[in-house]
Amino acid sequence: MNKVQLILLCIFLAGCVSEGDTRPAPYLKGEALLQQGLEAYQHDNFIQASEKFTAAFVLYQSFANTKGMLLAQLNLIETALAMDDFAQVTMGLARLDKQELEPALQHKLALLEVKLAYQQQNYPLALQKLQPLLIEISPQLPATDAALTLWAMQAQLQLLTQPQLSSTGLALFQQGLSQLVTPSPYYEALLKRLLAQVALNQQDYATAHTVLTQALAYYQAQANRRAIANCLEDLAAIAAAQHLKNQQKQYLLKSLAIWTWLNNEYKHQLLQNQLKNLP
């Protein structure tokens, strides 16, 4: 058997893998644009992600593909949220054709509304919008990623709105985590952040600082910029509660550098205002 026959054999074998994707090119192109947008989002390149999602939306619109248009729009809203561009988020939500949303996409939309309220620091509204989603999950069943995420959100919002009360969301989150044989480090870091908030509410600053530093170490290992910046802001809040102005300033400066890198003007302005009040 010569080389040419071998190459032909390889090509034939490759052809036997499975049937190729025979959908029309616009579908493939649309999915490719969405994938490129997701990739850019994962790399914190929100501007590029926004461009890709917009291009995907325009493409899907060109052949009236409602599902594709909705996917692109939801991703655009989430990207705008990542940049704290509330005007864009509000406009995106207003333009969304909510009648066409499937249950899964409705769930996603509800979560985006929760996030918007949270990021605008309207915690009671965020908690109110989260309630319908919490009804859908049962603590009796094995904990899923979606359930754990929702309980963590509930816990976070409860700890912010009712600092004196114990959080039912935190209890459910801990219970869900205990069911897992090997809990993901991601959820463990999330739990540490919640525990830090509990400790901060109880004015146990040492514990709050310790657990939050542990969570920060995980996020740094993952290079999760937005989580790192938020952790640093929480550490600054702990330092502020202890009147450690210099330490607070250092944390805020580090966080500011991250938000600047992320082109987040809202956070940038917010931290600049805080830093102005520090010596």
Residue holding tokens 């910029």? 225
Chosen residue from 61, 121, 179, 202 binding other proteins by CB under 8 A: 179
User: Closer CB to other proteins, residue 35 or residue 272?
Assistant: 35
Query: Which among 69-77, 162-170, 201-209, 266-274 is the span making contact with other proteins, rule CB under 8 A?
Result: 69-77
d(CA 26, CA 265): 35
Instruction: Tell me if 98 contacts other proteins by CB under 8 A.
Output: no
CB 244 within 8 A of CB 209: no
Give the DSSP H or E segment for 172. Answer: helix 168-179
How many secondary structure helices (H) and strands (E) does the chain include? Answer: 14, 0
What spatial distance separates the first Cα and last Cα of the chain, rounded to whole Å?
Answer: 81
Instruction: Tell me if 237 contacts other proteins by CB under 8 A.
Output: no
How many residues does this entry show for the chain? 279
Chosen residue from 96, 111, 199, 235 binding other proteins by CB under 8 A: 111
Q: Angle at CA 185, nearest 5°, toward 226 and 139?
A: 100
Instruction: Tell me if 137 contacts other proteins by CB under 8 A.
Output: no
Return the biggest CA–CA distance within the chain: 81
Instruction: Tell me if 172 contacts other proteins by CB under 8 A.
Output: no
Query: What SS3 class is residue 141?
Result: coil
- The tokens for 211 are 């657990």
Query: Which among 34-42, 92-100, 238-246, 254-262 is the span making contact with other proteins, rule CB under 8 A?
Result: 34-42
Query: Which among 14-22, 88-96, 200-208, 263-271 is the span making contact with other proteins, rule CB under 8 A?
Result: 14-22
- Positions touching other proteins (CB under 8 A) are 1, 3, 6-7, 9-10, 14, 17-21, 23, 29, 31, 34-35, 38, 41, 67, 71, 74-75, 78-79, 104-105, 108, 111, 114-115, 118-119, 126, 142, 145-146, 149, 152-153, 156-157, 179-182, 190, 193, 224, 226-227, 230
